[in-house]
């Protein structure tokens, strides 16, 4: 079946079943039109808390709120037809414990229609992941570089080099054993990402990890060249839409100033000669 003919979005168990199969394709989305563009091409779409940096100009994801996630989740849901929607739990909405996590995860799913939540953390989040999955909330885990912890990680550094490798490996096993249906590996050395992919039973979704992962995800504004504040090594620019937007807007500004816009075809005649010409 062609991607555009798909009707039923995959659910968490469909994603889990893709372990070792054709690589899973995923991007972040925050708006309806962008969700519509990527829907035919993606297996799942993540409403990432990167929305705070990408669309709201925040300097980290720490200021993202439940209300922001719900608003963007609802917008993305309106643009999806065949891809699954996963939504990020924002900073401070789940770390207090399983009960807080359940309350906020249930709200995110109920108010947006997302099929799963994503949360950051490994061993320390295993109990929460188990609690959620036993109560009907599919969880995608996120380990390695966890941007909500930049203040304790000391910045956006690669995680799992040398002596750190065992800890990241333990995180991967912990979230898998706790019932997560998949795990994002962010900024993890390739060899370690490949080892995790070989050892855990759930699909690994790489971002700055390895082509050997069970799937890949990128922040859409990064790969389209819209978000240019910084460019991590792992981002491949598939387009340069920021530069295209800049030159289009510069041309518009010049045409407004020299009065060549609007032209005759963009304005209305002062009489209505034919029926229906309004
Ligand atoms: O918020 C986000 O965009 C993410 C991806 C980078 C995985 O968590």
Q: Which ligand 1 atom minimizes the distance to the CA of 120? A: 8
Please tell me the predicted confidence (pLDDT) of residue 228. Answer: 82
Mean pLDDT over the full length of the chain: 95
Looking at residues 268-273, what average pLDDT do you find?
A: 78
What does pTM read for this prediction?
A: 0.94
Distance 170 CA to ligand 1 centre (A): 21
- Establish whether 186 is a catalytic residue: yes
Q: Give domain 12-239's CATH superfamily.
A: Phosphoenolpyruvate-binding domains (3.20.20.60)
pLDDT at 277 over 60: no
pLDDT at 173 over 70: yes
With a Cβ cut-off of 6 Å, ligand 1 is lined by: 28, 46, 48-50, 88, 142, 184, 207, 217, 219
Please tell me the predicted confidence (pLDDT) of residue 117. Answer: 98
pLDDT at 276 over 80: no
Looking at residues 205-217, what average pLDDT do you find?
A: 98
Q: Whose CA is nearest to atom 2 of ligand 1?
A: 48
What percent of the chain shows pLDDT beyond 70? 95
Looking at residues 80-102, what average pLDDT do you find?
A: 98
Per residue in 101-124, pLDDT tens?
999 999 999 999 999 999 999 999
pLDDT at 8 over 90: no
Choose the weakest-confidence range: 109-118, 161-170, 250-259, 268-277: 268-277
Q: Residue 270 has what DSSP assignment?
A: S
Catalytic residue among 96, 111, 120, 186: 186
pLDDT at 3 over 90: no
Distance 20 CA to ligand 1 centre (A): 22
Distance 92 CA to ligand 1 centre (A): 16
Per residue in 241-267, pLDDT tens?
999 999 999 999 999 999 999 999 999
Inter-CA distances, 151 with 101, 154, 166, 212, 272, Å:
21, 5, 22, 30, 65
**Domain spans of the chain, in order of start:** 12-239
Q: Whose CA is nearest to atom 6 of ligand 1?
A: 219
């Amino acid at each position: 079946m062609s991607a555009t003919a798909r009707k039923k979005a995959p659910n968490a168990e469909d994603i889990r079943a893709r372990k070792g199969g054709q690589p899973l394709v995923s991007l972040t989305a925050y708006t309806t039109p962008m969700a519509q563009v990527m829907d035919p091409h993606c297996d799942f779409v993540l409403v990432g808390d990167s929305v705070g940096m990408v669309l709201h100009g925040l300097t980290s994801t720490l200021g993202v709120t439940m209300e922001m996630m719900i608003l963007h989740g609802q917008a993305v849901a309106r643009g999806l037809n065949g891809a699954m929607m996963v939504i990020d739990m924002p900073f401070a909405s789940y770390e207090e414990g399983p009960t807080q996590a359940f309350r906020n995860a249930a709200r995110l799913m109920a108010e947006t229609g997302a099929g799963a939540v994503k949360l950051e953390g490994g061993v320390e989040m295993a109990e929460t992941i188990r609690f959620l999955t036993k109560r009907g909330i599919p969880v995608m885990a996120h380990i390695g570089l966890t941007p909500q912890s930049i203040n304790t990680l000391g910045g956006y550094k690669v995680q799992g080099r040398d002596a750190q490798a065992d800890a990241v490996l333990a995180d991967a096993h912990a979230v898998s054993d706790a019932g997560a249906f998949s795990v994002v590996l962010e900024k993890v050395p390739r060899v370690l990402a490949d080892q995790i992919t070989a050892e855990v039973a759930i699909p690994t979704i790489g971002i700055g990890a390895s082509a050997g992962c069970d799937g890949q995800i990128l922040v859409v504004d990064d790969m389209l060249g819209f978000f240019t504040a910084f460019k991590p090594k792992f981002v491949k620019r598939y387009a340069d839409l920021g530069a295209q937007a800049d030159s289009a807007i510069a041309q518009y500004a010049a045409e407004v100033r020299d009065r060549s816009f609007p032209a005759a075809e963009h304005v209305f005649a002062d009489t209505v000669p034919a029926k229906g010409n309004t």
